[in-house]
């Protein structure tokens, strides 16, 4: 995937920006607050239809203007051009792909593939497990679109089952005798188990594949020390042997019946699972890792997802690195840059002149960003 | 703006409350009715009333029928009484009839199981279904609920009820064994492969049949 041209209108501090980009490594330089991150954020927005920063859609619209627009001309790795456009207006998002309106955002997300890293990204590791499940599911649905109805089935079964639990147990610990409701619960449980088993097995398979790319990437990016970090799918259900997963899941649900009579919601299944970053095969990196190790892990994870997409979908995502090098020593900076050179297109933002000098020889273009103005410096 | 006579604007408002009819279409319909002969309008009014008063659910299957009698399918002596197709709504039965080829009878549930939307098992015509299976010595039940999550859950619910017929709680009742089938899922006929979505293709491959 390659971004050839980007146009921004009233997107944060970019009043009017129109800039073309070559493939390869692209450096964005400029003082803090100049609009480097905003430009990366715009690309991310078009890719995921939301920001990597917290906050509301309307904050993105430049103060005092009616709407913000992001327009991009892209080239996929097979050389096919396409155009995507996003307008943010009054808290609403309007998306067009090749000139036609997109109504189902789910079909659009992932079309413009990108992976990103910025200092706040540690939240992926330290934050809510929901963030990690979301990343896995997004990737899984890109690789296997046929899973979409399975997710729909699971989500529906989960909500219906939780509602049924609340009807059977009007208050914690109370129980209503109603054979109709009991059978309804059994039906939703079956539906949950059948869809949930597929999701857990697919996720575990995906994590295994990503881990194959992740471990070597982590090794080359991590601070020296020789620790090993690996990815593991942490499930509330035993996932082996493969043909027993559904049976294990059903057993776990049956065993949780007591707990469910008090909590009145479903406590076992893919909606409770997590992606673990495991240090030296036994410790949770989130608890025992240093800042540096965690940063390297998230960066390696993002790079691993790029590699997976390149190999499986012949689509190398655009890599957005926002101030990603600042806390690395020179040796690791060089290694990261070397990894970046083999990617289709990488945007690196940096406020440090010294860093820029280090990257510039490898970069295909350098742009300076000042007060929302983008200017080609070299390339 | 020209004010319409109150009786006419009342008619237009009532027409526009119908599904698929917006204010513009309602206006056109209302004005067109004004220009019709009185006896034609009378006939239309009679037809509306007669329909409302005389059409109801078939007492056996729940499809549409007239004057509380059996519907056309239930009254048809040439239908295979051993084959019963369970659908969510009467419209689904009509769709299946249009497809032709089905020689059995129908049973309308009156919706799909969805506690979230307040539809519980007791709100569906399930007790009637089980009673029919006993009375009509049904041999095969085709579960033709929608392929949606709710339809799928309803099918799973019915499967339990149908399997339970083999082990009646009431010792005096004979155990019943019915074959339970589900509509196949796959490619629409006449469809081109490259236009089918991934999920449909996946399902078509999974449910492929010997050829």
Residues A123-151 pLDDT 10s? 899 999 999 999 999 999 999 988 999 99
Spatial separation of the C-alpha atoms in residues A193 and B97, rounded to whole Å:
34
Q: How many domains does chain A have?
A: 2
Please state whether A135 falls in left (phi above 0), alpha (psi between -120 and 50) or beta. alpha
pLDDT at B192 (0 to 100): 84
Bridge-partner residues for A29, per DSSP? A350, A368
3-state class of B198 per DSSP?
Answer: helix
- A245 and A125 housed in the same domain: yes
CB–CB of A186 and B160 under 8 A? yes
Same domain? For A130 and A143 the reply is yes
Encoded tokens for A245: 């997963």
Distance from CA of B27 to the nearest CA of A (A): 31
Residue B39 dihedral angles phi and psi, to the nearest 5°: -70, -30
H/E element, A48? helix A36-48
The DSSP bridge partners found for residue A234 are A274
CA distance A140 to A117: 20
Pick from A155, A167, A187: which is nearest to B113 by CB?
A187
- Judging contacts by C-beta atoms under 8 Å, the chain B residues touching residue A148 are 198-199
State which residue of chain A sits closest to B126, comparing Cα positions. A180
Q: Are A372 and A263 part of one and the same domain?
A: no
Q: Does residue A29 share a domain with residue A52? A: yes
From CA A334, how far away is CA B74, in angstroms rounded? Answer: 79
> B150 to chain A: nearest residue by CA?
A156
Of the residues B157, B160, B169, B197, the best mutation for testing chain A's interface (the one with the most A CB atoms within 10 Å of its CB) is B157
Task: Judge if ipTM > 0.90.
Answer: no
User: Are B161 and A167 a contacting pair at CB < 8 A?
Assistant: no
Structure tokens at B60: 């056996």
Helix (DSSP H) and strand (DSSP E) numbers for chain A: 12, 15
pLDDT of res. A326: 83
Q: Which of A184, A192, A196 to mutate to test the interface with B (most CBs of B within 10 A)?
A: A184
Residues A131 and A235 in one domain: yes
**Are residues B154 and A160, on separate chains, in Cβ contact within 8 Å?**
no
Q: Are residues A304 and A185 in the same domain?
A: yes
Q: Report residue B1 CA to chain centroid gap.
A: 45
Residues of chain A with pLDDT under 50: none
What is the DSSP secondary-structure string of A114-173? EEEE-GGGGHHHHS-HHHHHHHHHHHHHHH-GGGHHHHHHHHHHHHHHHHHHHHH-SSTT
* Cβ contact, residue pair A156, B153, below 8 Å: yes
How buried is residue A201: exposed, middle or buried, by Cβ count under 10 Å (0-12/13-18/19+)? middle
Claim to verify: residue A163 and residue A232 sit in the same structural domain:
yes
Note whether A294 and A324 are same-domain residues. no
Q: Is A8 helix (H, G, I), strand (E, B) or coil?
A: strand
**Average pLDDT across chain A, whole number:** 93
Query: Per-residue pLDDT tens for B121-180?
Result: 999 999 999 999 999 999 999 999 999 999 999 999 999 999 999 988 887 888 899 999
Q: What distance in Å separates the CA atoms of residue A27 and residue A215, rounded to the nearest whole number? A: 27
B118: left (phi over 0), alpha (psi -120 to 50) or beta: left
* Binding-face residues of B in 148-207 toward A, CB within 8 A: 149-150, 152-154, 156-157, 159-161, 197-199, 201-202
Same domain, A296 and A327: no
pLDDT of residue B206: 84
pLDDT tens digits, A308-320: 999 999 999 999 9
Residue B65 bridge partners (DSSP): B56
Which among A283, A313, A343 is the end of a domain? A313
Contacts of B153 in chain A (CB under 8 A): 156-157, 160, 184, 187-188, 191
Nearest to A164 by CA among B20, B119, B112: B119
Run of H or E residues at A354: helix A353-359
Whether residues A273 and A351 fall in one domain: no
Last residue of a domain, one of A270, A293, A313: A313
Chain B positions touching A157 (Cβ under 8 A) are 149, 153
| pLDDT digits 0-9 by tens, B45-82 | 999 999 999 999 999 999 999 999 999 999 999 999 99
How far is Cα A201 from Cα A212, in angstroms, rounded to an integer?
17
For residue B145, how far is the Cα from the chain centroid? 9
* Number of CB pairs, chain A paired with chain B, less than 8 A apart: 65
Domains of chain B: 6-53 (1.10.8.420), 79-185 (3.40.1360.10)
Sort out which chain B residues have CB atoms less than 8 A from A181's CB and list them. Answer: 120-121
Pairing mode of beta strands A24-29, A345-350 = parallel
pLDDT for the residue numbered A328: 83
CATH number at residue A44: 3.40.50.300
Rg (CA), chain A: 23
Residue that is last in its domain, among A255, A284, A313: A313
Question: Is B156 within 8 Å of A191 when comparing Cβ atoms?
Answer: yes
CATH number assigned to the domain comprising residue A135: 1.20.1050.90
Residue B194: pLDDT band with limits 50, 70, 90? confident
Give the minimum alpha-carbon distance from B148 to chain A in angstroms, rounded to a whole number: 8
Which residues are CB-neighbours of A108 under 8 A, at least 6 positions away? A49, A84, A95, A97, A102
Which residue range(s) make up the domain with A264? 121-313
Residue B117 near residue B62 (C-beta atoms within 8 A):
no
Q: Would you give the distance in Å from CA B83 to the centre of its chain?
A: 17
- In angstroms, the separation between the Cα of residue A148 and the nearest Cα of chain B is 7
The pLDDT, as a whole number, for residue A137 is 95
Percent of chain B with pLDDT over 90: 78
Q: Check pLDDT > 60 for residue B1.
A: no
Residues A212 and A94 in one domain: no
Q: Any idea which of B56-65, B79-88, B186-195 has the lowest mean pLDDT?
A: B186-195
In whole angstroms, what separates CA A175 from the centre of its chain?
Answer: 41
Residues A214 and A301 in one domain: yes
């Amino acid at each position: 995937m390659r971004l050839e041209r980007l146009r921004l209108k009233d997107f944060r501090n970019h009043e009017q920006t129109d800039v073309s980009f070559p493939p390869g490594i692209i450096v964005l330089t400029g003082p803090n607050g100049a609009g480097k991150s905003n430009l990366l954020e715009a690309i991310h927005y078009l890719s995921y239809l939301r920001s990597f920063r917290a906050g509301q859609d309307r904050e993105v619209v430049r103060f005092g203007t009616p709407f913000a627009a992001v327009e991009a001309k892209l080239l996929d790795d097979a050389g096919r051009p396409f155009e995507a456009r996003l307008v943010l207006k009054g808290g609403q998002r309007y998306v067009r792909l090749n000139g036609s309106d997109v109504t189902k955002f789910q079909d659009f997300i992932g079309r413009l593939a990108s992976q990103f890293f910025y200092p706040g990204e540690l939240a992926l590791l330290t934050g809510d497990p929901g963030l990690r499940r979301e990343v896995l599911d997004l990737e899984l649905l890109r690789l296997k679109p046929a899973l979409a109805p399975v997710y729909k089935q699971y989500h529906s079964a989960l909500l219906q089952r939780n509602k049924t639990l609340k009807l059977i147990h009007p208050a914690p610990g109370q129980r209503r005798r109603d054979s109709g409701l009991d059978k309804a619960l059994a039906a939703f449980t079956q539906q949950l188990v059948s869809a949930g088993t597929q999701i857990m097995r697919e996720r575990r398979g995906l994590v295994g594949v990503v881990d194959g790319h992740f471990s070597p990437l982590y090794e080359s990016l991590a601070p020296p020390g020789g620790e090993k970090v690996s990815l593991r799918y942490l499930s509330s259900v035993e996932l082996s042997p493969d043909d027993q997963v559904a049976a294990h899941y059903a057993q776990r649900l049956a065993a949780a019946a007591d707990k469910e009579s008090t909590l009145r919601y479903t406590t076992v299944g893919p909606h409770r699972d997590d992606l673990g970053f495991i240090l030296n095969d036994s410790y949770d990196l989130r608890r025992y890792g240093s800042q540096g190790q965690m940063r390297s892990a998230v960066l390696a994870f993002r790079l691993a997802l790029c590699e997976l997409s390149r190999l499986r979908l012949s689509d190398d995502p655009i890599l957005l690195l926002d101030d990603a090098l600042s806390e690395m020593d020179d040796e690791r900076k060089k290694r990261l840059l070397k990894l970046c050179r083999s990617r289709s297109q990488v945007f690196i933002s940096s406020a440090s002149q010294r860093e820029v000098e280090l990257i510039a020889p490898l970069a295909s273009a350098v742009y300076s960003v000042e007060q929302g103005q983008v200017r080609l410096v070299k390339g | 703006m020209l004010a319409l006579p109150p009786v006419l604007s009342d008619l237009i408002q009532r027409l526009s409350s119908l599904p698929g009819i917006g204010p513009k279409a309602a206006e056109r319909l209302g004005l067109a009715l004004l220009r019709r002969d009185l006896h034609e309008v009378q006939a239309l009014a009679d037809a509306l009333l007669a329909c409302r008063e005389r059409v109801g659910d078939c007492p056996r299957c729940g499809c549409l029928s007239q004057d509380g009698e059996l519907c056309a399918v239930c009254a048809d002596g040439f239908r295979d009484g051993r084959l019963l197709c369970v659908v969510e709504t009467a419209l689904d039965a009509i769709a299946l009839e249009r497809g032709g080829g089905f020689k059995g009878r129908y049973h309308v549930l009156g919706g799909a199981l969805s506690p979230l939307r307040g539809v519980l098992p007791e709100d569906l015509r399930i007790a009637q279904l089980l009673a029919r299976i006993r009375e009509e010595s049904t041999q095969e039940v085709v579960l033709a609920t929608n392929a949606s999550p709710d339809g799928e859950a309803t099918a799973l619910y019915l499967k339990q009820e149908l399997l339970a017929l083999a082990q009646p709680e009431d010792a005096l009742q004979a155990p019943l064994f019915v074959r339970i089938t589900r509509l196949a899922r796959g490619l629409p006929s006449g469809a081109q492969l490259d236009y089918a979505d991934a999920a449909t293709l996946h399902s078509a491959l999974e449910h492929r049949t010997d050829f």
